[in-house]
Amino acid sequence: MGFNYSITKTSTPKEKPDEKHLGFGKYYTDHMFMMDYDEENGWHNGRVVPYGNISLDPAACTLHYAQMSFEGLKAYRRPDGKVNLFRPDMNAKRLVKSNERLCIPPIDEDMFIEAVKLIVAMDEDWVPSEPGTSLYIRPFIISPEVSMAVHPAKEYTFIIILTPVAAYYEANNDGLTASHIWVEEEFIRAAVGGTGFAKCGGNYSCGMIASTEAQKQGYDEVLWLDAKEHKYVEEVGTSNAFFLIGDTVVTSSLTGSILPGVTRDSCIQLLKKWGYKVEERRLPLEEVLEAAKTGELKEAWATGTACVVSPIGVLRFRGEDHPVNGDKVGELSQRLYDSIYGMQTGIIEPEMDGWVITL
């Protein structure tokens, strides 16, 4: 292990929840990982402690100006009982980039991976085994520093918490279903030059108004358009977006307002391996809707750590529903889901070297 840490075990282990009714983020494990940062010591005082409340001064700057970053990855129960992690190196790299954008000191990538492995191993018996379930890992960084001044803090806390979860979209608990998506024209998620490529709380809070409105209208999520021209498709809710047009898969290039998703990258690599043409480019909404009309839009889907692959069955734009693949789960979306989730859970042999780490 490349860094020093201490372990304080809980004296009151909790009862495990029913794996058939986990929801998403309802239950938390027995322990959490914490580490502090200050200018003198850098990142230090790594520790596993019983899961519990943390104490913050009401003037902690993180509560006011949202200087924070986070990550999301999962641990999966294999059929042989062991536990898999999926590409945690990608999360470690992305956290460095998010931190840079948010003026938070970087966490060494190896240290991040070691801390994730340590806390997952600690609460290994919380990794569920029901189909579709996993242990969601949430590393995040906040600042406890007391200040009302708007400037980067000098003190931070890195925390990793763990929650056993079911499918992110309840509708997908018993297999994939196609979701209905509202094309959002009023609100935007992120602008180039902003924080769209970083994983930070503000990107998610600013999106809630649009998804709430879409849900009121009977849709599951929104399709975000670019902030400047409202012309190009960007992401779906909290996920990256893919479109199979003819024989080519198109997803937005990483313009600066797009989150570089681990599942996004995994889909691109797998699709290329399977012989598909993949284009990372700016994709006009007009092209998508035209392709939906002519039947050239064969499939569309969202990708993310939480949902893995979530097929899209309808795009709603200016009062009109545009069905995609007859509002059914497409073959390619299903194949991607089966392959990625299969690798993650160890049901199938990894198709790519180095993606799966077995603890």
Question: Which residues contribute to the site for ligand COI (CB under 6 A)?
Answer: 72, 204, 238-239, 304-307
From 155, 295, 139, 314, select the one nearest 221 (Cα to Cα): 314
Task: Give least dist CB 304 to ligand COI, A.
Answer: 3
Q: Considering beta carbons, is residue 37 or 219 the nearer one to ligand COI?
A: 219
β-bridge mates for residue 165, sequence order: 134
From 283, 247, 243, select the one nearest 267 (Cα to Cα): 243
Q: Considering beta carbons, is residue 94 or 316 the nearer one to ligand COI?
A: 94
Alpha carbon distance 323, 279 (integer Å): 23
- Non-local (6+) Cβ contacts of 27 within 8 A are 17, 163, 164
Q: Considering beta carbons, is residue 61 or 306 the nearer one to ligand COI?
A: 306
Q: Considering beta carbons, is residue 304 or 313 the nearer one to ligand COI?
A: 304
Task: Give least dist CB 260 to ligand COI, A.
Answer: 11
Alpha carbon distance 52, 22 (integer Å): 20
Q: Which residue has the tokens 């007009």?
A: 286
Q: Considering beta carbons, is residue 115 or 307 the nearer one to ligand COI?
A: 307
Instruction: Tell me the residue number closest to ligand COI, measured at CB.
Output: 304
Which amino acid, 167?
A: A
CA atoms within 13 A on the CB side of 2: 12
Q: Considering beta carbons, is residue 99 or 238 the nearer one to ligand COI?
A: 238
Q: Considering beta carbons, is residue 73 or 115 the nearer one to ligand COI?
A: 73
Q: Which residue has the tokens 């047009």?
A: 245
Task: Give least dist CB 142 to ligand COI, A.
Answer: 16
Task: Give least dist CB 24 to ligand COI, A.
Answer: 7
Give the pair of three-digit tokens for residue 49: 């402690």
Task: Give least dist CB 1 to ligand COI, A.
Answer: 27
- Non-local (6+) Cβ contacts of 8 within 8 A are 47, 48, 49, 50
- Non-local (6+) Cβ contacts of 189 within 8 A are 196, 203, 206, 207, 210, 224, 227, 234, 235, 257
Task: Give least dist CB 70 to ligand COI, A.
Answer: 8
Q: Are strands 5-7 and 42-50 parallel, antiparallel or unpaired?
A: parallel
Task: Give least dist CB 284 to ligand COI, A.
Answer: 25
